Amino acid sequence: VRLAELTAAAALSFALSLPAAALAAPKKAAAEPLPLVQTAMALRDDAMKGGSIGVEFTRDLTTRFGARPAGSASEAAAAEWAAARMKALGFENVSVQPFRITSWSRGQEHAEITGPSRQSLAAVSLGEAPPTPAGGIEAEIVLFRSLEELMAAPDGSLTGKIAVVSRRMVRMQDGSGYGPITRIRGAGPGIAAKKGALAFVLRSAGTDNHRMGHTGTTRYENGKVAIPAFAMSNPDADQIERLAALGPVRLKLVSGASYDPNATSHNVIAEIRGREKPEEVILIGAHLDSWDLGTGAIDDAAGAGIVTGAADLIRRLPQRPRRTIRVVLFGSEEVAQPDAPFGTFGGWAYANANKAALEKHVVAGESDFGADKIYSINLPAGAMGTAFAAHVETVLAPIGVLMRPDSLDDGGADIGPSVNQGVPVFALNQDGTRYFDLHHTADDTFDKIDPAQLDQNVAAWAGLLWLIADSDVDFRALAKAAPAPAAH
Ligand SMILES: [Zn+2]
């Protein structure tokens, strides 16, 4: 082991991790890990032992500011705090990028079943949905089992009614059950309104059986959301399905939601400047904003803690990496905007402000799926089969991260606008089995985070980041050299 070639911290950590016999053993000729890989392993091991600020950063963010809705005073205060915290830690070029948004605030709201009998209804307004008239909306429902059923309803057939879609989300490790329900959440209010509906209710995009509504954004169409829209809990949706089988069902919905078209949101940007090629940037991110019902712990204070904690471990090394690591804590990931086709407004603000510099972004990745264990990795296109991939496997396999053969063309909402401009992307995939039990509910709170699993996330991020940042691996060149993926 060429200890002299290691950075001091890595050497120390590596030496401590070896049994005495191994230290005393004579040099072996075969397969000594490179200093690059040894440092990545040392970072990984430090994080696994709880050596990073990942958990602490997550706890601070959720404790000091609670919920951090996009454009709110709480989100702004969290951004200011995060910037100050990162500056105090020793990150460089710390800045706060403000941008204008239309924000949305939940008002007093209430939902109940009024017929055939009066019963409570656990439901919450969707983000961006307009308020009801002051006295609420009370009407008979028309129940649909899917978005396709709603779309097939004749025009005018929902006049004076409340449209309800009760399709259930499927629990999946990779979270892929979410997509079909977000399509209902996004498009449902507009489709129901066109057919005459007064309001729209869906079964929450959630996998729990607790009486919690899962909020989340719906979609603006032509600058507005047509009708009030709510998400009800799974048990309430089951109850409505049973009641509807017996006869007509009536609901009453009240929402005092409001908009502010002149709100400000913020991205927080901080760097570890590279020692040799500082203009080459590795972009890693998470989002600072959250929904209003919980304290945004799994979504996404955890991600902020994971990427900040990983970068901070590298910052502590005696020698900085060759390339720049840039942490961006994005504002306004959760909300849609009236004048944009998508949400992810902080991601757009970042990509627009860095248009020319994106060419020099080596790669991008984000953490926005809670804090449970990372179980697989997608490398950028063309990277599998290279020496870089072998190094990644050496560092990450011992903490349970499988190499996936495929690559992604979309790494998440915040980095999406940068990835669309050609920045290569990786994904460290987290176990999402229980994520949608909590996501966007009042139960998304810090106690739901398992510190050991969060540390495993930091370990994977720190190891991977070092392998990219202290090397000259060129993912754009690898993608060009790679054979075109087989059609399927
Ligand atoms: Zn999120």
Check pLDDT > 80 for residue 10.
no
Q: What's the CA-to-centroid distance between 302 and ligand 1, angstroms?
A: 10
Q: What's the CA-to-centroid distance between 210 and ligand 1, angstroms?
A: 21
| Mean predicted confidence (pLDDT) in 10-22 | 45
User: Each residue of 288-312: pLDDT tens digit?
Assistant: 999 999 999 999 999 999 999 999 9
Q: What's the CA-to-centroid distance between 262 and ligand 1, angstroms?
A: 23
Confidence at 445, pLDDT banded by 50, 70, 90? very high
Q: What's the CA-to-centroid distance between 288 and ligand 1, angstroms?
A: 9
Confidence at 482, pLDDT banded by 50, 70, 90? confident
| Mean predicted confidence (pLDDT) in 429-448 | 98
pLDDT above 90 coverage of the chain, percent:
90
Q: What's the CA-to-centroid distance between 368 and ligand 1, angstroms?
A: 5
Check pLDDT > 70 for residue 486.
no
Check pLDDT > 60 for residue 159.
yes
Contact 119, 238 (CB under 8 A): no
| Mean predicted confidence (pLDDT) in 86-111 | 97
Check pLDDT > 70 for residue 286.
yes
User: Residue 136: its pLDDT value, please?
Assistant: 98
User: Residue 233: its pLDDT value, please?
Assistant: 98
Q: What's the CA-to-centroid distance between 150 and ligand 1, angstroms?
A: 28
Q: What's the CA-to-centroid distance between 412 and ligand 1, angstroms?
A: 9
Q: What's the CA-to-centroid distance between 70 and ligand 1, angstroms?
A: 12
Q: What's the CA-to-centroid distance between 289 and ligand 1, angstroms?
A: 8
Q: What's the CA-to-centroid distance between 485 and ligand 1, angstroms?
A: 30
Q: What's the CA-to-centroid distance between 257 and ligand 1, angstroms?
A: 22
> 2 or 366, which is more confident?
366
Q: What's the CA-to-centroid distance between 8 and ligand 1, angstroms?
A: 37
Q: What's the CA-to-centroid distance between 387 and ligand 1, angstroms?
A: 33
Q: What's the CA-to-centroid distance between 282 and ligand 1, angstroms?
A: 21
Around ion ligand 1, residues with a beta carbon closer than 5 Å are 299-300, 368
Confidence at 410, pLDDT banded by 50, 70, 90? confident
Least confident of 95-109, 191-205, 334-348: 334-348
Q: What's the CA-to-centroid distance between 110 and ligand 1, angstroms?
A: 26
Confidence at 483, pLDDT banded by 50, 70, 90? confident
| Mean predicted confidence (pLDDT) in 265-279 | 98
User: Residue 177: its pLDDT value, please?
Assistant: 96
User: Residue 317: its pLDDT value, please?
Assistant: 97
Q: What's the CA-to-centroid distance between 439 and ligand 1, angstroms?
A: 8
User: Each residue of 28-82: pLDDT tens digit?
Assistant: 445 666 799 999 999 999 999 999 999 999 999 999 999 999 999 999 999 999 9
Q: What's the CA-to-centroid distance between 487 and ligand 1, angstroms?
A: 32
User: Residue 344: its pLDDT value, please?
Assistant: 64
Q: What's the CA-to-centroid distance between 258 and ligand 1, angstroms?
A: 22
Check pLDDT > 90 for residue 484.
no
User: Each residue of 179-201: pLDDT tens digit?
Assistant: 999 999 999 999 999 999 999 99
Least confident of 149-153, 339-343, 372-376: 339-343
Q: What's the CA-to-centroid distance between 444 and ligand 1, angstroms?
A: 11
Confidence at 267, pLDDT banded by 50, 70, 90? very high
User: Residue 15: its pLDDT value, please?
Assistant: 43
Q: What's the CA-to-centroid distance between 334 and ligand 1, angstroms?
A: 7
User: Residue 32: its pLDDT value, please?
Assistant: 62
Confidence at 341, pLDDT banded by 50, 70, 90? low
User: Residue 209: its pLDDT value, please?
Assistant: 98
Q: What's the CA-to-centroid distance between 298 and ligand 1, angstroms?
A: 8
Q: What's the CA-to-centroid distance between 249 and ligand 1, angstroms?
A: 35
Q: What's the CA-to-centroid distance between 369 and ligand 1, angstroms?
A: 7
Q: What's the CA-to-centroid distance between 421 and ligand 1, angstroms?
A: 22
Q: What's the CA-to-centroid distance between 261 and ligand 1, angstroms?
A: 22
Check pLDDT > 90 for residue 343.
no
Least confident of 16-25, 106-115, 147-156: 16-25
User: Each residue of 357-397: pLDDT tens digit?
Assistant: 999 999 999 999 999 999 999 999 999 999 999 999 999 99
Q: What's the CA-to-centroid distance between 301 and ligand 1, angstroms?
A: 9
User: Each residue of 212-226: pLDDT tens digit?
Assistant: 999 999 999 999 999
Check pLDDT > 50 for residue 22.
no
Check pLDDT > 80 for residue 342.
no
Q: What's the CA-to-centroid distance between 40 and ligand 1, angstroms?
A: 27
